[in-house]
């Protein structure tokens, strides 16, 4: 089914567009991740695993290296740290910490596969 969609003219066009716009796609994913602890209140596993699923797909699609994941982790550490200094162990700090945890896990698994 997925193969059929990808082989269709519309599918091929979409794949091409995604390949051409790698920075845009990754920026959107990453903005989604940053927005979660900074601007969105409340926890949602659907949101977390949805965005994480997109990132994992991007890892396979763009053949991303673990280095990028760890870099993302570094940014998330920065967000967690700043949130912690200003708000203590607030929900936002905790959310950033969970994102950091997930990115570290993905990064380590990626590195083991490289």
Partner 1 sequence: MDLGGDSGRLYFYDPINYLKNYSLYNILPFGTGLVEPHFYNLPIVILLIGMKSILQSSYLLISIFNSIKLVVAFFAVYGIAKELIDKKSNNKYFSMLREISSMFAGLFYIFSPRMIGNWDKALLSHDQVFLNPLMFYLVLKYFLTYNIRYLLVGLIISFIFAANFAWASAPPFFAFYPLSLLFILFYTSLIRRKKLPWKGIIAGLLIFVGLHSFHLIPAIVSLFDPGSNTNTRVFNNEDIAHQLDYFFGVLPLAKVSLNILSFSPIKELGWTSIMVPLVVILGFLLNRGRNKTILLTGLFFLIILFLLSAKITDLGIELYKGLFYIPGFTMFRNFIGQWLFVFSFFYALLFGLAIFNLFGKLKSRSLITAMTFLIGITIIISAWPFINGEFVNKTHFQSNNVKIAMVMDPKYEETLTFIRSLPDDGKILTLPFTDCCFQVIHGTNNGAYVGVSTIGYLTGKKDFAGYANIAPFSEVFLKLAQEKDYKSIRQMLGLLNIQYIFHNKDPRIYDATFPGYPYNHVRKYLPNDQKGYSEFVKHLTSNKVFERGPYSIFALDKDIYLPHFYIATELVLYTNTVNDWYGKTMSFFVNEKDFDIRTAYIEEETCRRVFPKQECNQKIIYDKNNLPIIQFEKINPTKYKVKVANAKGHYYLIFSEAFHRNWKVFIPKDESPLPESRHLVVNGYANAWSITPQDAGEKENYELIVEMTDQRIFYVSLALSIIVFSGCVLWGVILFVKGSRSDIIRRSND
- The residue ranges that bind partner 1 (CB under 8 A) are 43, 45, 48-49, 66-67, 70-71, 73-74, 77, 80-81, 83-85, 89, 93-94, 96-98, 100-102, 104-105, 107-108, 111-112
Q: Which is nearer to partner 1, 52 or 58 (CB)?
A: 52
For residue 69, give every residue at least 6 positions away whose Cβ sits within 8 Å of its Cβ, in sequence order, or none.
59, 103, 106, 107, 110
| Cα atoms in the Cβ-side hemisphere of radius 13 Å centred on 79 | 25
DSSP letters of 35-63? HHHHH--S--HHHHHHHHHHHHHHHHHTT
Least CB distance to partner 1 at residue 14 (A): 30
Q: Which is nearer to partner 1, 58 or 106 (CB)?
A: 106
Q: Which is nearer to partner 1, 58 or 96 (CB)?
A: 96
Least CB distance to partner 1 at residue 102 (A): 8
């Amino acid at each position: 089914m997925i193969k059929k969609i990808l082989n269709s003219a519309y599918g091929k066009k979409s794949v091409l567009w995604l390949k051409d716009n790698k920075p845009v796609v990754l920026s959107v994913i990453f903005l989604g991740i940053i927005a979660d602890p900074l601007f969105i209140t409340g926890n949602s596993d659907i949101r977390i695993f949805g965005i994480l699923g997109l990132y994992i797909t991007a890892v396979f699609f763009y053949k991303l290296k673990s280095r990028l994941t760890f870099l993302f982790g570094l940014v998330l550490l920065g967000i967690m740290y700043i949130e912690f200094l200003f708000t203590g162990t607030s929900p936002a700090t905790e959310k950033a910490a969970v994102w950091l945890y997930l990115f570290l896990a993905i990064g380590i698994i990626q590195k083991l596969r490289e």
